[in-house]
Chain A
Amino acid sequence: MSLDAVGLEVMGHAFASVAEEMGLVLIHSAVSPNIRERRDCSAALFDAAGEMIAQAAHIPVHLGALHESVAAVRALSPAPGEVFILNDPYAGGSHLPDITLVGAVEVDGAVGGYGVVRAHHSDVGGMQAGSMPAGARDIFAEGVVVPPLLLTPEVERFLLANVRTPEARRADLAAQRAAVERGADDLRALAARHGWAVLREAARDLQAYAERRARQALARVEATGLTATDWLEGDGVDDRDLAIQVRVDIRDGVFHADFTGTAPAARGNVNCPLAVARSAVLFVVRTLLPEDVPTNGGVTRVVRVTAPEGCLVHARFPSAVAAGNVETSQRIADTVFLALANGGLSVPAQGQGTMNNVTFGGIGVRGSGLEAGWTYYETMGGGQGASPGAHGPSGVHVGMSNTRNTPVEVLEMEYPLRIRSYGVRRGSGGAGKWMGGAGVTREFEALAPMDASFLSERRRHAPCGAGGGGAGAPGRTLVNGVPLPPKVSTPLAPGDVVRVETPGGGGWGQPEPGGER
């Protein structure tokens, strides 16, 4: 190691600042609410060898998932200064709405590193507005597939010709490009300040530092042969349960998760590429590490994820994958937590394990600015699992998501919907020495004819407790009091009321007799 204690910390801040700045440029210049307000995006800086130096992750599902994007672009031998675009889940992407730009940063006439910016575009074409169609059976139904391509005006024109909202997409892509370019400028400025050789060395030392910290933390939780099975509740085509099975070995400071035994790829869109499974496992590992360990390629070195090709979590072209990123990723993280808990490790109980995706859409509303048709998409928080030593927080996003809600007043001003109530779902948290967090209830009333679609999990299989704690209450979705299956689309008439009750988190430890709550 060549960086001393001071250099490690100083350069760590410097690189983190570059990634942070890229993310800020993106959030503050994007147009669409999904990027600006919900922050469904991330930015990272990679070295010339394709290893991550720093990431500004606003949402855990992107954690460590950009590695494949850089690898896919590096395979095309990019020239210095070139910027590539991709969304192909089978060539560096996650699901089609996540469009990733990878810029090969020119330093001294060569490729000195890569600036990577991923953002969830709420429209990439396909069979349904919003590009998250519940009934998709292959990737082609989900939208336009962009393999890694040099981002030229022609490529952009082609892409925009295949989407429903080209103006917003053009602006968001411009914001992504601006963020990539800011990262490149910053990296060159750092090189000018510290010297390029020093900078390259520093990046390697920081990765080694993060690896060292991660290995030290994992060495404290050595364990082998921890297993668990958990379930996805249907794939949007039929309602049968699909198994996710994992075996975890933590040995010599390396965390290995193997998904042999997981169901084969489904007909619907709950599949995901291995990159998404890796993000979910990395998320679990990240919660085991001290918070100040930098997220870079050094951490990913201590995580190994394997799965048989063609299974649900390592899908093959052309399986549909849109929901894999939002729901299956949650269940993968849940299953890994469950394996650790089954093995007696001191980890939190399972949280709500779903994002409770709801979409309302309609056409032609009474001269209200929505004549051209409208779509409203929301995900809902629920109960976090209890930790040894703390009750689970209530009414929050858990696991792979952390987006904010849409205020009631915004929703009612912009869409023909009324919120009848919004509250904490008391009593839904699992019992235990430490109680699981409670879910949320929200009642929507339709004010116009519309279509509603629900993509949810944990309606049958409750979030498990840990250490002897009880399960959280499963969620429910009801229309006029009648429960719906987890994944379904249904038309609504004015006056219809949709009630969503999101799951509670699992409890931790045996409830104490006469304990509080």
Chain B
Amino acid sequence: MRVGVDVGGTFTDLVALTPDGAIEVRKVATTPEDPTVGMFRALDALAGAPHAPAIELLVHGTTIATNALLERRGARVVLVTTRGFEDLLWLRRQDRAALYDLARHHPPPLVARGDVVGVTERIGPSGVLEPLTEGEVARVVAGVRTLAPEAVAIALLFAFRDPTHERRLAGALRDALPRVPVATGHEVLPLFREFERTSTTTVEAYLRPKVSTYLERLDGGVRKRGIGALRVMTSSGGTRAPAAAAAHAASLALSGPAGGVVGARLVGAAVGQSDLLTLDMGGTSADASLVVGGAPLADGGSTVGGVPLALPAVLIETVSAGGGSIARVDEGGALRVGPESAGAVPGPACYGRGGERPTVTDACVALGWLDADSPLADEVRLDPAAAERALRQLGPAAGSDSARMAAGIVAVAGAVMARALKRVSVARGLDPRRMALLPFGGAGGLFGCQLAEALGMGTIVIPPHPGALSALGLAAADERADLLASFHRPLDGLEPRALALAFGPLLAEGARQIPGGALPRFADCRFAGQGYEVTIPVDSDDPARIRDAFLAAHRRRYGHAGGGLALEIVNLRVVALREGPLPRFAGETRTGRRPVGPRAFVVRGERVTGSVWSLDELAAGVTIQGPAILAGRDATALVEPGWCGTVHASGAVLLVRT
């Protein structure tokens, strides 16, 4: 069987896809000092069950890279760069950190300024302008050795065009310092724009020692248990073998959230929805993302912890609206939610672990959405009285009673999330009204109807096991490697042979990394002079067909096709891919056809009595009229009045407006 393990901040989720299509879910507390402890605990519990099938594949979603960036606990890096441009990481793109807060600084680079070594050499757009001498190589090696780095990043101007200088420096440094990992710009991100490439190369060097140590240790533990193979989730939503992942440490920066988007895609495919807006609501924040045409939308320009990282990544927009987000009334009399969060410790007031300030989760308890009698995954029992006490601190401005205050908090949290969902879709020219909403995470399903109405969406997909969707995505994820090359040629007059020739090395490298996999080709195209590229599939070397595909994509995304402007191809991409299995979502084993009981709760300020259903037991074909609550072991969903749910064979619940 295939197993996905998602190590989150609070919980480690495990999903096993058994050969007969069943889905097994385990949840254990994360062991922050060493995440592999909790992970193996969950695996051993799974494997220890009688008749447990052998684990052929273990796919891991890790926050090790993300946390190293957020907490600034990576390697001490020396950056080797073209002389005269040593300050690139400090100059960034010259825009300031905040428009109106003039004291705000960008987060400092990952490298100390004293650890930058300038090299006398220069490559220009059409070749070497100043050669790199052997003497200079020796001087640089000596200079780097003196600084005694834990990792080295080499990023020279125009190395995406001509990597010879980077190669020579890397070779000399690897010979001289065999134990120090060396990352080069042309290997990490062979694309133009020097700041983004230098920053990304530095991230790679910064993360590599920590990531490779972790993955080696993990792989050892995996082998010891007789597990077939380990693979690691990357930011682009595909998996890599541990050695390849360790050599592309920066590609793991969004390993955690990528799993959820892949899981959303799988559920969407199972229920026939290929265009999805997804929302993962966690404890401190909510992540919005997109699945378009059955594939997670990838962007090439994210930042993690304020550090630009231009590798292919599943699009994630994070807003500070999670279950632990704290509510307050500001001095102008408006009710605000977040960005302050009660986090996992002490957590919401209703957890009874010392939290006193009102949070979104406290509001959900006060509204009767969460059941005080069912413990949460971490054996937490909800204390409604504590939630009420916390809410009342908000005072009369927030509402005349705690139910009104609670309704206000969920309305505000919903408004924050709706704005984020709108931003991610509109910024890419997509109309949310033509998409389905897929909320997940423990509390995402509670906000589905509210968000869908705010965005004019008519369909909501509540996935099976919404609290473990990321682990499910991991278990079924594709194997994937992203190969990139710079091209920069006008489309007019382009020889089809030239294009085929340029794709050649990428295809060969893709076939080497994923033998027998699919090798779809893509090109980043733009109108000449534009700053934005659109990635389009390249099915044919014929420039006319590339032009048509670009114009159609541009019109779809931006509403116009440029009116006769010249086109150019900027970058080439090959995605080496071997698809994972589509889980069978064995819905036939579910037998729940009746609600487990009625409950009184509050929806949009009205006290209603609705039915409560056991989310994990719903039989296919069951219909559920709102108001209703779908209570699962690790997540809860709310069906508001005016919405009706149908249980799909996969176990997903499709909500539509009545």
**Chain A residues within 8 Å of B, Cβ to Cβ:** 1, 4-6, 8-10, 12-14, 16-17, 20-21, 24-25, 28-29, 31-33, 36-37, 57, 60, 167-168, 170-171, 174-175, 178, 189, 193, 209-210, 212-213, 216, 283, 286-287, 289, 291-293, 348, 351, 369, 380-381, 384-385, 387, 389-398, 402-405, 407-410, 412-414, 418, 420-424, 440, 443
* Contact, CB under 8 Å: B408 / A5: yes
CB distance from A284 to the nearest CB of B (A): 10
Ordered by A's residue number, 12 sampled pairs between the chains whose C-beta atoms are within 8 Å are A6-B335, A6-B398, A9-B337, A10-B415, A16-B419, A31-B530, A216-B331, A396-B94, A404-B94, A407-B194, A407-B195, A421-B85
Q: What would 17 more interface pairs be, CB under 8 Å, given A413-B488, A422-B91? A: A1-B333, A10-B411, A10-B414, A14-B415, A32-B529, A171-B563, A189-B456, A193-B453, A209-B332, A287-B100, A287-B101, A381-B96, A398-B102, A402-B99, A404-B94, A409-B194, A423-B84
Contact B565 A167 (CB under 8 A): yes
A178 touches which one: B407, B419, B490, B559 (CB < 8 A)? B559
Known contacts A17-B419, A409-B157; A291/B192 CB under 8 A: no
CB atoms of B456 and A412 under 8 A apart = no
B100 and A286 form a contact (CB under 8 A): yes
- Closest Cβ neighbor of A18 among chain B residues: B422
**Chain B residue at smallest Cβ distance from A12:** B334
Partner of B86, one of A212, A351, A423: A423
Mask, B88-101, CB within 8 Å of A = 1, is: 10111111111111
Using an 8 Å CB-CB cutoff, how does the interface string of B18-48 with A read, 1 for contact, 0 for none? 0000000000000000000000000000000
A414 surroundings in chain B (CB, below 8 A): 529
Q: Write out the residue numbers on chain A whose beta carbons fall within 8 Å of the beta carbon of B560.
A: 29, 171, 174-175, 178
Q: Which residues of A contact B329 (CB under 8 A)?
A: 5
Chain A: CB-nearest residue to B414: A10
B498 interface residue per 8 A CB criterion? no
Give which listed residue, A410, A421, A440, contacts B84 with CB less than 8 A. Answer: A421
Residues in chain A near residue B106, CB distance under 8 A: 393
Q: Which residues of B contact A37 (CB under 8 A)?
A: 530-532
- B94–A405 contact, CB under 8 A? yes
Task: Please measure, in the bound complex, the distance between the C-alpha atom of A67 and the C-alpha atom of B19, giving whole angstroms.
Answer: 65
Top 3 closest A-B pairs, CB basis? Answer: A37-B531, A421-B84, A6-B408
CB distance from A369 to the nearest CB of B (A): 7
Q: Are B412 and A9 in contact (CB under 8 A)?
A: yes
* CA–CA, A281 and B335, complex, Å: 29
| B49 contacts the other chain (CB 8 A) | no
Contacting residues, chain B, for A20 (C-beta < 8 A): 419, 422-423
B124 and A418 form a contact (CB under 8 A): yes
**What residue of chain B has the Cβ atom nearest to residue A192's Cβ?**
B456
- Which A residues are CB-close (under 8 A) to B497? none
- Assuming the contacts A31-B565, A422-B88, A423-B87, asked whether A390 and B105 have C-beta atoms less than 8 A apart, the reply is yes
Highest count of chain A CB atoms <10 Å: which of B88, B94, B95, B157: B94
| A209 vs B329: C-alpha distance when bound (angstroms) | 13
Q: Is the CB of A36 within 8 A of B531?
A: yes
User: Which one of A348, A394, A421 lies within 8 Å of B103 (CB-CB)?
Assistant: A348
Stretch at the interface among B267-275, B374-382, B424-432, B458-466: B424-432
Instruction: Please name all residues of chain A whose beta carbon is closer than 8 Å to the beta carbon of B157 when the two chains form the complex.
Output: 408-409
B96 touches A17 (CB 8 A): no
Q: Which of A9, A216, A384, A392 contacts B335 (CB 8 A)?
A: A9
- Give, as a whole number of angstroms, the nearest-CB distance from A56 to chain B: 11
B369 at interface (Cβ–Cβ under 8 A)? no
Residues 221-258 of chain B, each 1 if its beta carbon lies under 8 Å from chain A, else 0: 00000000000000000000000000000000000000
Nearest CB on B from A57, distance (A): 7
Cβ of A393: which chain B residues have Cβ within 8 Å of it? 96-97, 104-106
Return the chain B residue nearest A283 by Cβ. Answer: B100
Determine chain B's interface SS by DSSP, over half rule: loop
Q: B334: which A residues are within 8 A, CB to CB?
A: 5, 8-9, 12, 209
Q: In the complex, what residues of A have CB within 8 A of residue B93's CB?
A: 404-405
B330 to chain A, nearest CB (A): 7
Kindly state whether residue B173 has any CB partner on chain A within 8 Å: no
In chain B, what residue has the closest Cβ to A181? B559
Are the C-beta atoms of A36 and B532 separated by less than 8 Å? yes
Nearest B residue (CB) for A289: B100
Q: Is the CB of A5 within 8 A of B102?
A: no
Say whether, besides A212-B333, A387-B103, A423 and B490 are in contact (CB < 8 Å).
Answer: no
Let me know if B427 and A387 touch, CB within 8 A.
no
A13 and B419 form a contact (CB under 8 A): yes
Interface: B385 (CB within 8 A): no
User: Using an 8 Å CB-CB cutoff, how does the interface string of B555-575 with A read, 1 for contact, 0 for none?
Assistant: 001111011110000000000
Q: How far is the CA of A428 from the CA of B352 in the complex (A)?
A: 55
User: Quick one: given A6-B411, A167-B564, are A440 and B103 in contact (CB under 8 Å)?
Assistant: no
Cβ–Cβ contact A348 & B102, under 8 A: yes
B586 interface residue, CB < 8 Å from A?
Answer: no
Other-chain residue from A13, A385, A394, A403 in contact with B102 (beta carbon distance below 8 A)? A385
Interface residues of B in 296-336 (CB under 8 A from A): 329-336
Contact residues in A for B158 (Cβ distance below 8 Å): 409, 412
CB distance from B125 to the nearest CB of A (A): 5
- Let me know if B145 is at the binding interface, CB within 8 A: no
Please give, as numbers and ranges, the residues of chain A lying within 8 Å of B68 by CB-CB distance: none
For B105, list chain A residues within 8 Å (CB). Answer: 390-391, 393
Min CB gap A381→B, angstroms: 4
Q: Which residue on B lies nearest to A420, using beta carbons? A: B84
Between B102, B104, B407, B426, the greatest number of chain A beta carbons within 10 A of the residue's beta carbon is seen for B102
Q: Does B518 contact A (CB under 8 A)?
A: no
User: What A residues does B94 contact at CB under 8 A?
Assistant: 380-381, 395-397, 403-405, 440
Q: Which of B103, B105, B330, B407 has the most CB of A within 10 A?
A: B103
Q: Which residues of B contact A9 (CB under 8 A)?
A: 334-337, 412, 415
Least CB distance from A327 to B in Å reads: 17
Contact A6 to B399, CB < 8 A, known contacts A37-B532, A167-B564: yes
Given contacts A8-B335, A407-B194, whether A396 and B418 have CB atoms under 8 Å apart is no
B353 CB–A CB distance under 8 Å: no
Contact partners of B562 in chain A: CB under 8 A: 31, 171
Partner of A209, one of B95, B333, B415: B333
Whether A8 contacts B419 by the Cβ 8 Å rule is: no
Residues of chain A within 8 A of B557, CB atoms compared: 28
For the complex formed, measure the closest distance between the CB of A508 and the CB atoms of chain B, giving whole angstroms.
10
Bound: A33/B95 CA distance, A: 16
Q: Are B96 and A397 in contact (CB under 8 A)?
A: yes
**Min CB distance, A44 to chain B, in Å?**
15
The answer to whether B426 touches A212, judged by C-beta atoms less than 8 angstroms apart, is: no
Q: Which residues of B contact A384 (CB under 8 A)?
A: 96, 102
B531 in contact with A60 (CB, 8 Å) = no
Residues of B within 8 A of A216 (CB): 331-332
Contacts of A402 in B (CB 8 A): 95-96, 99
